[in-house]
Structure 1
Amino acid sequence: MAFMRARQQLEEVPLFEIAVWSCENESCNGWMRQDYSFIAQPVCPLCQSQMNTENRMLPQLSHYAGP
């Protein structure tokens, strides 16, 4: 029932410090994980500005693609 969901405790996802590419443009929120970029110095896919490297606290992704 829908009212019972409020009482359930959600499992906390552990966060890790992950290297990401972040857009230099102040008005753009574009970023991507460095592990998933194919270029040594990527360009922002949203605004085509240069990207800088930084670290963010993000959940670890698994590479498992189940059935």
Structure 2
Amino acid sequence: MFFLILVYTISRGFEANKGALSIFFNKKGQDDKPEMIMMDVEVYSCLDENCKGWMRKDFASNDLRCPLCGNETSVEIRELPKI
């Protein structure tokens, strides 16, 4: 497939493909990804039903207010990736 794309690009000329999207393939990075470890983490979630704000307990502010809207928060347990 790469050969066909290369031949097509060369046959059309480089001037005609200035806006073309370049495609690169690299299989090396797919095997090198570390395994994502999930764990149960305490988070503070916003009590407002229209807000989706939450924060990890480790990174929570002192006043425990929602970082997006400023409303009260409650403690929940979520399964999140380990940091």
Amino acid at match of 1:29: K
Aligned in 2, Cα 1:8/1:45: closer, same or farther, shift over 3 Å? Answer: closer
Please name the residue that 1:50 is paired with: 72
Unaligned 5+ segments in structure 2 are 1-22
Length-normalised TM-score, structure 2: 0.59
Aligned residue number for residue 14 of structure 2: none
How far off is 1:33 after superposition? 0.5
Q: Percent same amino acid among aligned pairs?
A: 36
**Other-structure match for 1:15:** 38
For CA contacts below 8 A with separation 6 or more, give which structure has more relative contact order: 1
Q: Which has the higher strand share?
A: 1
Instruction: Please identify which structure carries the higher helix content.
Output: 2
- The Cα of 1:25 is off from its aligned counterpart by 0.9
Deviation >4 Å, runs of 4+: none
Residue identity in the other structure for 1:37: A
> Structure 2 matches for 1:21-60, cutoff 5 A?
21-39=44-62, 41-60=63-82
Pairwise CA RMSD: 2.4
**Shift in CA distance, 45/8, structure 1 to aligned 2, threshold 3 Å:** closer
Question: Which 5+ residue runs of structure 1 have no aligned equivalent?
Answer: 62-67
> Considering only CA atoms, is the larger Rg found in Structure 1 or Structure 2?
2
Task: Deviation per CA, 1:46-65: give whole Å up to 9, x if none.
Answer: 1111100001111111xxxx
1:30 Cα deviation from its structure 2 partner = 0.4
